[in-house]
Structure 1
Amino acid sequence: MSGHDERRRFQRIYFDAPTDLRQGDRSWPVQLLDVSLKGLLVQRPVQWDADMTQDFDAVIHLNDKTTQVRMQVELRHEEPDRLGFACLFIDIDSISHLHRLVELNVADSTEMMRELRQLIED
């Protein structure tokens, strides 16, 4: 995974929250390993039979169960035990929740501002 780490421009935070991947009428509960402003890494589910050519919806359920981060994502890398997804679309409410989550876990506010600028410019 070091190749992915070297290319990563957004700091990932380790975060454990109930997460679902959805594709059409199929859904897989997954273990969230980490998240950033541009994607997420999850534990590969046992019954993984997704259509790799189609996008997914990722739903991260935050602590109160009513607050969610929703992203449209695409699979970027697949390993025997992990799946890495890049964010294609995120709504304003979800990016606000995700921003706050990352902000609380990133010690350097300068780094957080750099990531936000880069997100806007991409």
Structure 2
Amino acid sequence: MTTPDIERRRFTRISFDADTELKYQDQSWNVSLIDISFNGILIKSEQPLALNIGDEVEAVIHLLGDDIAIRTPATLAHNRDQEYGFLIENLDLDSLTLLRRLVELNLGDEGLLERELDHFFDDGSAS
């Protein structure tokens, strides 16, 4: 990773394994979550997904079965092979709270968490 990439990345990626589902129009795919941040998710699919850059899906990341899940609209930003990167948009308060706790537990650094939350809210991502 080059220095410009490090400077550009304002959100720490958290490697996390959780049952994840993508919903698009009348389709639904079970996929593997590779990592998550306040900015987006990276997933891997065993089958090619019928999606184009810019398509918006609903991502459901199951933390504890169906009862506790991060649910968010996400826009496909890039794909390579069978890995797909999505930007997270418009998190609801419950999902934001769950994501905040997940990041907090994995970062272990309150200062870093607060910096990431400042970037998140400055970008208007929490609308």
TM-score with structure 2 setting the length: 0.87
Q: 1:8-27 to 2 correspondence within 5 Å? A: 8-27=9-28
1:54 is matched with 55
Contact 1:74 1:86 in 2 (8 A): yes
Percent identity for Structure 1 against Structure 2:
38
1:87 is matched with 88
1:31 is matched with 32
**Higher mean Cα deviation, 78-87 or 46-55?**
46-55
Question: Partners in 2 of 1:81 and 1:8 — Cα distance?
Answer: 23
Structure 1 residue 81 displacement after superposition: 2.8
Query: Equivalent residue of 1:62, what SS?
Result: strand
Query: Equivalent residue of 1:115, what SS?
Result: helix
Query: Equivalent residue of 2:84, what SS?
Result: strand
Structure 1 residue 54 displacement after superposition: 2.4
Structure 1's unaligned 5+ residue stretches are: none
Structure 2's unaligned 5+ residue stretches are: none
Question: Partners in 2 of 1:104 and 1:29 — Cα distance?
Answer: 25
**Higher mean Cα deviation, 53-62 or 93-102?**
53-62
Paired residues, number: 121
Taking a change above 3 Å as real, the CA distance of residues 59 and 5 of structure 1, as seen in their structure-2 partners, is farther
Question: Partners in 1 of 2:54 and 2:113 — Cα distance?
Answer: 32
Taking only aligned residues, the RMSD between alpha carbons, in angstroms, comes to 1.8
Contact 2:47 2:82 in 1 (8 A): no
Query: Equivalent residue of 2:17, what SS?
Result: coil
